[in-house]
Chains A and B, each alone.
Chain A
Amino acid sequence: MQRSLFVRQPSVLIFIGLLAAFTIAITVLSEGFGLGLVSTSFIKILGKTLCLCLVAIAMDLVWGYCGILSLGHFAFFGLGGYMIGMWLMYERTKDIVIASLAGAELPATAEEIREGIGTQIFGVVGGAEIPVVWYFADSLWAQLALVVLVPGLLALVFGWLAFRSRVTGVYLSILTQAMTLALSLYLFQNDSGLRGNNGLSGLQNIPGLTHLPQAVVSVWFFLASAFALGVGYLVAAWVVSGKFGSVVRAIRDDETRIRFMGYPVEAYKLVVFTLTAVIAAIAGALYYPQAGIINPAEIAPIASIYLAVWVAIGGRGRLYGAVIGAATVSLLSSWFTGGQAPSIPLGFYTIDWVDWWQVLLGLGFVLVTLFVPKGIGGLFDRLVRKDAS
Chain B
Amino acid sequence: MSALLEVTSISVSFDGFKAINDLSFEIGGQELRAIIGPNGAGKTTFMDIVTGKTRPDAGRVRFGEPQLDLLRLSESQIARAGVGRKFQRPTVFEAQSVRDNLMMALSNDRLPLAVLRYKPSTADTDRVSALAEEIGLSSELDRTAGQLSHGQKQWLEIGMLLAQEPKLLLVDEPAAGMTLGERQHTTDLLRRAAETRAVVVVEHDMEFVRRLDCKVTVLHEGSVLAEGTLDHVTANSEVIDVYLGR
Q: Which residues of A contact B (CB under 8 A)?
A: 239, 242-244, 246-247, 249-250, 253-254, 256-265, 267-268, 271
B116 proximity list for chain A (CB < 8 A): 239, 242, 244, 271
26 contacts between A and B (CB under 8 A): A243-B103, A243-B120, A244-B115, A246-B93, A247-B115, A249-B96, A250-B93, A253-B95, A257-B87, A257-B91, A258-B93, A258-B104, A259-B76, A259-B79, A260-B51, A260-B76, A260-B84, A260-B85, A261-B105, A261-B110, A261-B164, A262-B76, A263-B110, A264-B110, A264-B112, A267-B111
List, in ascending order, chain B residues with CB within 8 A of A267's CB. Answer: 111-112
Tell me the B residues contacting A by CB distance below 8 Å. 51, 53, 74-77, 79-80, 84-85, 87, 91, 93-96, 100, 103-105, 110-113, 115-116, 118-120, 160, 164
Complex-state Cα separation, A254 to B94, whole angstroms: 10
Cβ A264 vs Cβ B76 within 8 A: yes
Q: How far is the CA of A263 from the CA of B118 in the complex (A)?
A: 14
Q: Is there contact, CB below 8 Å, between A261 and B104?
A: yes
Which residues from chain B contact A244 at a C-beta distance below 8 Å? 112, 115-116, 118
What A residues does B111 contact at CB under 8 A?
Answer: 264, 267
Question: A261 CA to B120 CA in the complex, in Å?
Answer: 18
* Docked-complex contact A250 and B104, CB < 8 angstroms: yes
A263 to B105, CA, bound (A): 10
- The reply to whether B164 and A262 contact each other, CB–CB distance below 8 Å, is yes
On chain A, the residues within 8 Å of B115 by CB distance are 242-244, 247
Tell me the bound Cα distance from A247 to B35 in angstroms. 32
Given contacts A253-B95, A260-B79, A265-B76, are A243 and B164 in contact (CB under 8 A)?
Answer: no
Q: When the two chains form their complex, are residues A254 and B51 in contact, meaning their CB atoms are under 8 A apart?
A: no
Helix, strand, loop or mixed for chain A's interface? Answer: helix
The smallest beta-carbon distance between A211 and chain B, in angstroms, is 44
A262 to B103, CA, bound (A): 13
Q: Are B104 and A246 in contact (CB under 8 A)?
A: yes
A267–B95 CA distance with the chains assembled, in angstroms: 22
Are A254 and B91 in touch, CB under 8 angstroms?
Answer: yes
Q: Which residues of A contact B77 (CB under 8 A)?
A: 262
Kindly report which residue of chain B lies nearest to residue A242, judged by CB atoms: B118
Contacts of B103 in A (CB 8 A): 243, 246
Q: Is the CB of A250 within 8 A of B164?
A: no
Q: Is the CB of A262 within 8 A of B112?
A: no
Whether the Cβ atoms of A271 and B104 lie closer than 8 Å is no
With A243-B100, A244-B118, A271-B112 already in contact, 6 other A-B pairs whose C-beta atoms are closer than 8 Å: A247-B104, A257-B91, A259-B76, A259-B79, A260-B84, A271-B113
Assess whether A250 is in contact with B96, with CB atoms less than 8 Å apart: yes
- A261/B160 in contact, CB under 8 A: yes
Complexed CA–CA distance, A246 and B105 (Å)? 11
Across-interface contacts of B105 in A (CB, < 8 A): 261
Residues of A within 8 A of B75 (CB): 259-260
Complex contacts, A260 vs chain B, CB 8 Å: 51, 75-76, 79, 84-85, 87
Q: Is the CB of B95 within 8 A of A262?
A: no
CB A39 to nearest CB in B, in angstroms, measures 43
Q: How far is the CA of A252 from the CA of B116 in the complex (A)?
A: 17
Please, which residue of chain B has its CB at the minimum distance from the CB of A270? B112
Nearest-Cβ distance from residue B70 to partner chain A, whole angstroms? 13
Q: Is B76's CB under 8 angstroms from A263's CB?
A: yes
